[in-house]
């Protein structure tokens, strides 16, 4: 096994990883483009202020902005890994991706789905409408960038179902407790849909969101295998159990 691990390190990437990363080539370009889009989104919040700018919790009351912050951290570490060719930073990026990519997929699904039903469910009446470019930057580009990074510049996820469900549950209900605290100070919810639900219904909404995020993780695992194949060598060598233990470093 030692010679196989050495060979993988010489290749500079996981056997299923399509393109080299960390790399000062295409990987660095992707992370730079992603960070430029994320910076545009944050700048938009400052240059187009609304009452949320002065409220408790700032725009971090929005799951969209929390997800954007996590995506920014993921890509910033990814770019640092590209520039320094640091495998340790690359591992950190991959670990963060396990949370940030499914979370951004969930955000895009919920936002565009609820908006298709009724825009007033996600946009308060007092909030100015988003410009189209900003709407895409907030609610589409993070998910697209992270999925592309996973499919072409990362090793496969190997997180099992229960850890994925636990992670999703912590994020979903952690966010619920956060917005309830913000409500105590601001007397409004960031998303109008929360005003339409009672406590029991909100619990149901966050539970469903946790399940959807877990499903997003499973779909990303499936999509990765569809695009890149499966590491049959690990299965033959009896490493499948190890792969399902939650190791996400691509080792």
- pLDDT at residue 12 in the model: 56
Provide the mean pLDDT of the chain.
Answer: 88
CB atoms within 10 A of CB 159: 25
- pLDDT at residue 231 in the model: 65
- Is residue 35's pLDDT more than 90? yes
| Nearest C-alpha neighbor of 168 from the set 111, 212, 222 | 212
- pLDDT at residue 90 in the model: 97
b/e map 64-96, b = 16+ CB within 10 Å: bbbbbebbbebbbbbbbbbeeeeeebbbbbbbb
- Is residue 7's pLDDT more than 60? no
- pLDDT at residue 142 in the model: 98
- Is residue 244's pLDDT more than 90? no
- Is residue 247's pLDDT more than 80? no
In which residue are the tokens 């109008």 written? Answer: 192
- pLDDT at residue 126 in the model: 85
- Is residue 127's pLDDT more than 90? no
Domain assignment present for 251:
no
Domain assignment present for 250:
no
Domain assignment present for 97:
yes
| pLDDT tier at 250, thresholds 50, 70, 90 | very low
| pLDDT tier at 122, thresholds 50, 70, 90 | very high
What are 82-115's pLDDT values in tens digits?
999 999 999 999 999 999 999 999 999 999 999 9
Query: pTM for this one?
Result: 0.87
Q: Which residue has the higher pLDDT, 180 or 4?
A: 180
- Is residue 11's pLDDT more than 70? no
- Is residue 186's pLDDT more than 50? yes
- pLDDT at residue 230 in the model: 80
SS3 of the chain: CHHHHHHHHHHCCCCCCCCCCCCCCHHHHHHHHHHHHHHHHHHHHHHCCCHHHHCCCHHHHCHHHHHHHHHHHHHHHHHHHHHHCCHHHHHHHHHHHHHHHHHHHHHHHHHHHHHHHCHHHCCCCCCCCCCHHHHHHHHCHHHHHHHHHHHHHCCCCCCCHHHHHHHHHHHHHHHHHHHHHHHHHHCCCCCHHHHHCCHHHHHHHHHHHHHHHHHHHHHHHHHHHHHHCCCHHHHHCCCHHHHCCCCCCCC
Domain assignment present for 236:
yes
Domain count, the chain: 1
- pLDDT at residue 6 in the model: 43
Domain assignment present for 35:
yes
Domain assignment present for 249:
no
- pLDDT at residue 14 in the model: 80
Pairwise CA distance, residues 208 & 169, whole Å = 10
213 lies in which domain range? 2-243
What are 140-158's pLDDT values in tens digits?
999 999 999 999 999 999 8
Torsion, CA 136, CA 139, CA 144, CA 146, rounded to 10 = 130
Q: Note every long-range contact of 158-161, with CB atoms under 8 Å and residues 24 or more positions apart, other chains counting.
A: 158/243, 158/244, 158/245, 158/246, 158/247, 158/248, 159/98, 159/217, 159/246, 159/248, 160/244, 160/245, 160/246, 161/214, 161/218
Domain assignment present for 238:
yes
- Over pLDDT 90: what percentage of the chain? 78
Pairwise CA distance, residues 22 & 71, whole Å = 17
Domain assignment present for 21:
yes
Rounded to an integer, the average pLDDT of 180-195 is: 95
């Amino acid at each position: 096994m030692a010679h196989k691990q050495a060979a993988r390190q010489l290749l500079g990437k996981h056997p299923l990883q399509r393109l080299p990363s960390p790399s000062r080539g295409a990987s660095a370009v992707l992370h730079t483009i992603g960070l430029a889009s994320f910076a545009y989104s944050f700048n938009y919040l400052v240059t187009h202020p609304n009452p949320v700018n002065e409220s408790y919790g700032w725009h971090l009351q929005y799951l969209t902005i929390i997800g954007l912050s996590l995506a920014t951290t993921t890509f910033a570490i990814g770019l640092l890994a590209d520039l320094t060719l640091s495998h340790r930073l690359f591992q950190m990026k991959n670990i963060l991706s396990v949370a940030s990519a499914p979370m951004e997929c969930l955000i895009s699904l919920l936002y565009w789905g609820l908006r298709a039903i009724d825009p007033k469910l996600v946009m308060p009446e007092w909030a100015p409408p988003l410009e189209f470019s900003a709407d895409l930057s907030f609610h589409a580009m993070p998910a697209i960038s992270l999925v592309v990074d996973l499919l072409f510049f990362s090793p496969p996820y190997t997180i099992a179902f229960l850890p994925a469900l636990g992670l999703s549950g912590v994020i979903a209900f952690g966010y619920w407790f956060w917005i309830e605290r913000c409500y105590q100070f601001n007397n409004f919810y960031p998303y109008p849909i929360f005003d339409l639900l009672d406590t029991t219904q909100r619990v149901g909404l966050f539970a469903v969101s946790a399940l959807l995020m877990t499903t997003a993780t499973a779909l990303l695992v499936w999509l990765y295998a569809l695009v890149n194949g499966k590491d049959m060598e690990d299965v033959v060598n009896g490493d499948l159990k190890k792969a399902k233990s939650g190791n996400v470093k691509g080792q």
